[in-house]
């Protein structure tokens, strides 16, 4: 990688739910006070993603006051009955995010697609368009909106707040296609916000991990990826693997 390829954008929404796994045991959901690394990575992957690259979230800035709102939700009960759960959402959220991408070295089959200028230009264009796929804040019902911004611009609620710790939090998942290991792990860390800014640890810097299950990396090849047969008939399967994924 020759350049930093830094991407900056703003994401906002009426509601957000970065669910704390401890509170989901009883069937209810309670949001963390700040977005998780994995949630922000998911937002960026909805904007633009290819298996050639891995998005690294560097920093987030909390713009609006941290407020919560509880709602009664009737989840699907496949065993019958009339269940009522309480979900606690964050309301009126807005974040500025700074991130960059790095090559996925565990995908040598896509080495020909490692054109950093191409991916950088496309990613910025997709941010201006609001993303390639639907963007949401933590859960599907929390629709979000993405637009370009200059990281650090504007006035934030916590600009002169000082330091605030959030205790032990979920950071993200270690997926086999990004680690090269046939296992799914969860990472945890202890974030600290300073004047509204939170700097994330890189995934490999998180010392607290929990192994969840065995998992194989997804392989994009003929037979397990829709649309490949059409290109295969035309003799374009190599072009598709390196450029169109």
Q: Sorting pLDDT into bands at 50, 70 and 90, what band is 236? A: very low
Taking CA atoms, 240 is separated from 105, 108, 123, 222, 236, in Å, by 19, 15, 19, 11, 6
Round the average pLDDT of the chain to a whole number and report it. Answer: 87
What's the pLDDT score for residue 28? Answer: 83
What's the pLDDT score for residue 216? Answer: 87
Percentage of residues in the chain with pLDDT exceeding 90? 64
d(CA 170, CA 33): 12
Residue 72, pLDDT above cutoff 50: yes
Instruction: List CB contacts of 87: < 8 A, sequence separation 6 or more.
Output: 17, 28, 29, 30, 70, 71, 73
Q: Domain-by-domain residue ranges, the chain?
A: 6-166, 220-245
What's the pLDDT score for residue 84? Answer: 81
Residue 79, pLDDT above cutoff 50: yes
Tokens of 89: 């959402």
| Residues linked to residue 192 through DSSP beta bridges, in sequence order | 165
Helix (H), strand (E) counts: the chain:
5, 12
The torsion angles phi and psi of 129, rounded to 5 degrees, stand at -85, -5
What are the E-state strand segments in the chain?
6-16, 29-30, 53-62, 68-73, 85-103, 144-148, 163-165, 169-174, 183-189, 192-194, 197-199, 208-214
What's the pLDDT score for residue 109? Answer: 83
The torsion angles phi and psi of 6, rounded to 5 degrees, stand at -80, 130
Q: State the DSSP string of 52-101.
A: TEEEEEEEEEE-S---EEEEEE----TT-S---EEEEEEEEEEEEEEEEE
User: Any idea which fold 6-166 has?
Assistant: Alpha-Beta Plaits (3.30.70)
Instruction: List CB contacts of 220: < 8 A, sequence separation 6 or more.
Output: 51, 241, 245
Instruction: Give the chain's radius of gyration (CA, Å).
Output: 20
Q: Sorting pLDDT into bands at 50, 70 and 90, what band is 237? A: very low
Q: Sorting pLDDT into bands at 50, 70 and 90, what band is 7? A: very high
Q: What is the mean pLDDT of residues 28-34?
A: 92
d(CA 1, CA 101): 9
What's the pLDDT score for residue 24? Answer: 76
Residue 245, pLDDT above cutoff 50: no
What's the pLDDT score for residue 74? Answer: 78
Q: What is the mean pLDDT of residues 182-199?
A: 95
> Residues 82-141: pLDDT tens digits?
678 889 999 999 999 999 999 999 888 888 999 999 999 999 999 999 988 999 999 989
């Amino acid at each position: 990688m020759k350049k930093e390829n830094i991407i900056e954008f703003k994401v906002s929404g009426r509601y957000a739910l970065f669910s704390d796994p401890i509170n989901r045991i009883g069937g209810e959901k309670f949001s963390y006070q700040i977005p998780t690394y994995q949630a922000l990575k998911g937002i960026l992957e909805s904007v633009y993603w290819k298996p050639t690259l891995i998005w690294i979230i560097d920093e987030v800035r909390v713009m609006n006051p941290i407020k919560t709102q509880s709602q009664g939700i009737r989840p699907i009960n496949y065993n019958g009955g009339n269940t009522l759960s309480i979900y606690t959402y964050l309301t009126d959220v807005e974040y500025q995010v700074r991130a960059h991408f790095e090559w996925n070295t565990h995908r040598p089959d896509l080495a020909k697609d490692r054109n950093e200028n191409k991916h950088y230009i496309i990613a910025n264009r997709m941010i201006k368009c609001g993303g390639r796929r639907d963007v949401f804040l933590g859960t599907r019902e929390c629709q979000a909106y993405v637009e370009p911004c200059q990281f650090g611009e504007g006035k934030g609620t916590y600009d002169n707040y000082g330091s605030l710790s959030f205790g032990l939090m979920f950071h993200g998942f270690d997926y086999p296609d990004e680690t090269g290991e046939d296992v799914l792990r969860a990472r945890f860390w202890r974030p600290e916000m300073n004047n509204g800014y939170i700097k994330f640890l890189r995934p490999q810097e998180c010392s607290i991990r929990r192994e969840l299950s065995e998992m194989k990396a997804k392989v994009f090849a003929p037979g397990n990826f829709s649309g490949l047969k059409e290109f295969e008939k035309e003799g374009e399967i190599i072009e598709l693997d390196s450029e169109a994924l």
